[in-house]
Amino acid sequence: MEGLIIKNISNDYTVKTNNDIYVCKARGKFKKDKITPLVGDYVTFDEENNYIMKIHKRKNYLIRPSVANIDQALVVTSVKSPNLDTNLLDKLLTIISYNNIEPIICFTKLDLLSPNEKKEIDNYIKYYKKIGYIVVTNSNKDNFKDLFKNKITVLTGQSGAGKSSLLNLLNPNLQLKTNEISKSLNRGKHTTRHTELYELFNGFIVDTPGFSNVDFHNMSKYDIRDNMKEIFTNLHNCKYRDCMHIKEDGCAVKEKVNTGEIILSRYNNYKQFISITEKTKK
Ligand code: ZN
């Protein structure tokens, strides 16, 4: 039988099929081959003795949280207290995209903005939409219904970004559940691994404590260049095919920064990310 692993506690894997739920163990062979089944894995299992026999090919996976086959990541981003941090936002968008996951921006706390601040934030919203990111706000739960359908979505965002109130808006039961898990993890007594996909709007979501600590560890400067949407799409307009958009002549990206078509915060973050990956190069 085939199914999707939706929950993992220690060696117990909860597998969901179209009609049922099974709790399975992993075959010993996986351990020998140093393969661990992950939440999000599509698996073939033996329903007689509840053993996972085969893990289907993964589209992608993350280590923390340990989840496979993620379709998209919702980057929950506060625009006020704490103020919009475009550096952290652009960093997360770039790393998520490098991991072959589609990032979605979810701006929160727009109701705390003054009229002038709102104008400024509206410009950012327009800009991120223009360059091709999906942008939503937490003003309405209906914004998420089509977004989550048939997808595995990872929720990320710095603390204080309003992730709990977003979960509460989407489904109050869900927030209780995820709170219990993070509490039991914080207690630190049990080092039991617990990852779980929650069903929501005909899709699945998974919460990620600590995703904001991610860094560029294995990424090269080319990975940065090719995972920022408007930088990537403008490369073919540059004079040199391998243009890094820093010092080169005939650079379409620099030209668009000058005309304001590419906003300065994005370009400055781009240059900073490049210099970080250059410094940490092995
Ligand atoms: Zn260029």
Q: 267 alpha carbon to ligand 1 midpoint, in Å?
A: 11
Q: 247 alpha carbon to ligand 1 midpoint, in Å?
A: 8
* Phi and psi angles of residue 157, each rounded to the nearest 5 degrees, phi first: 145, 150
Q: 252 alpha carbon to ligand 1 midpoint, in Å?
A: 5
133, two tokens = 């990111």
Q: 74 alpha carbon to ligand 1 midpoint, in Å?
A: 29
Q: 273 alpha carbon to ligand 1 midpoint, in Å?
A: 16
52, two tokens = 């996972």
pLDDT at 99 over 70: yes
Q: 278 alpha carbon to ligand 1 midpoint, in Å?
A: 18
The residue with tokens 């589609």 is: 102
Cβ proximity of 39 and 8 under 8 Å: yes
Given this model, what pLDDT does residue 13 score?
Answer: 96
Given this model, what pLDDT does residue 28 score?
Answer: 83
Q: 106 alpha carbon to ligand 1 midpoint, in Å?
A: 29
pLDDT tens-place string over residues 215-241: 888 899 999 999 999 999 999 999 999
pLDDT tens-place string over residues 126-175: 999 999 999 999 988 998 999 999 999 999 887 788 888 898 899 888 76
pTM for this prediction: 0.90
pLDDT at 189 over 90: no
pLDDT tens-place string over residues 61-71: 887 778 999 99
Looking at residue 21, the DSSP 8-state letter turns out to be E
Given this model, what pLDDT does residue 191 score?
Answer: 46
State the chain's mean pLDDT as an integer.
90
